[in-house]
Amino acid sequence: MVKTLPWCLTGWLLGTALQLQQASLWSLNVALTVACVAFSVAWIAWWLRAKNSQFTNCLLSALIALGLALSLVNARCLWQAQHRLDPLIEGKELMLSGIIASLPQQSASSVRFRFQVKSALEVNASSSVVVPEWIDLAWYEREPTDWMAGRHWTDLQAGDTWQFNVRLKAPHGTLNPGGFDEALWRWEQGVMATGSVLTGKRAEAPQKIKTSWLYPVAQARQYVRSEIERKLVSGDAQSRSMAGVIAALVMGDQAAIQSSDWDLFRATGVAHLMSISGLHITLFAWVMAGAIRGLWRFSAARDSRLCLHWPAPHAAVLAGALLATLYALFSGWGLPSQRTVIMLWVLSLLRLRGGALATFLEPWLGFVGGGGF
């Protein structure tokens, strides 16, 4: 099994890459047929595993993984395509009820957030409609004010249930080869529609229905951001300007950084430091591991038996990886954070297992993940 694992991973990556090059999706029947063939080959290969050579088993493992990747990725895309926004209701006024599912991102004249739809009603027809479950909404201020004192957004909290009148549209991206593809980015996150909250005289005012404990990570991030704002907004102009920078460095919320500050960061070449990267996650893991190691060893001086039950280096490695994972979730769980967390856990497991493999792979895993313990 261990010898065929690299072949399985290679086949799976190759199958995923081939699916991304397809001009159109397979039908469900074709995807199911490919999956059945892959499972059949897997069963035959397992039955004849003693008669086949090692190379044959590895090659069959790669082909099986390739077929499963092709079928499963196509099936997943077909399932998500069924949840697209109906073009017939695009642009119509709808009444949505649902839950704020993300940290509201505030700017000078708007707030943006992810909305989990629970029910949808077409206002003019007074009939229920089917819309995608996940929608990115924007709530614009008709009379722009200071973003930290938005009059209509003070009660907008993650996990709360709200009712909005909105207009929706399908995500669209600019046709710029090699550039950022907004439609593909939202597709990856399962967001199949975007929209804006209607706040005019003819539209019904947004209503907060109830609060809940759902989305606790987003609630914790919003609490920390509000505390940063409360501490710095009352100060001078420089303190108010630094509130957005501190929020970006602490919790990965870049929306509050002023445009003038962004211009300065780009001109000085430090704009990339305003996001939580692998370096930040790894540094946090290293500091936490060192603190836990020191506390673990200090307990031995207090007649504790912790070091006898579990060595201090092992406890430090696990605690560092676990706390780094929690910090990556708190800081927004971006792609650099995900890559770093995976590498930290692989490195932690190698450290616990020990041996020549850990010594050989540790520098490479630390480089890919952004550092080491």
**What residues make up the domain containing 243?**
219-274
Residues 257 and 284 in one domain: no
Query: Helix, strand or coil for residue 362?
Result: helix
Residues 53 and 130 in one domain: no
Give Dmax (Cα) for the chain: 78
Residues 206 and 93 in one domain: yes
Strand-pairing partners, residue 94, are 122, 166
Sequential pLDDT tens for the chain (373 residues) = 546 778 888 888 898 888 888 888 888 889 889 889 888 888 887 777 666 677 777 888 888 889 899 999 899 888 888 888 999 999 899 999 999 999 998 877 788 999 999 999 998 877 889 999 999 999 987 654 443 444 456 678 999 999 999 999 998 877 777 777 888 888 888 899 999 999 877 778 889 999 988 999 999 999 988 888 888 776 666 676 788 888 888 888 887 787 788 888 889 888 877 778 888 888 899 999 999 999 988 887 777 777 778 888 888 989 999 999 999 999 888 888 888 898 888 888 888 876 555 555 555 455 444 544 4
CA neighbor of 16 nearest in space, from 88, 60, 67, 56: 67
Give the orientation angle of helix 278-301 with respect to helix 335-353, to 10 degrees: 40
- The CA–CA distances, whole Å, from 329 to 96, 219, 253, 324 equal 28, 12, 13, 9
Final residue belonging to a domain, choices 27, 62, 81: 81
Residues 52 and 39 in one domain: yes
Residues 176 and 246 in one domain: no
Residues 157 and 45 in one domain: no
Rounded-to-integer distance, Cα 248 and Cα 274, Å: 6
Q: How many domains does the structure of the chain reveal? A: 4
Residues 35 and 23 in one domain: yes
Residues 60 and 163 in one domain: no
- Cβ distance 130 to 119 under 8 Å? no
Residue keyed to tokens 């939580």: 276
Residues 156 and 195 in one domain: yes
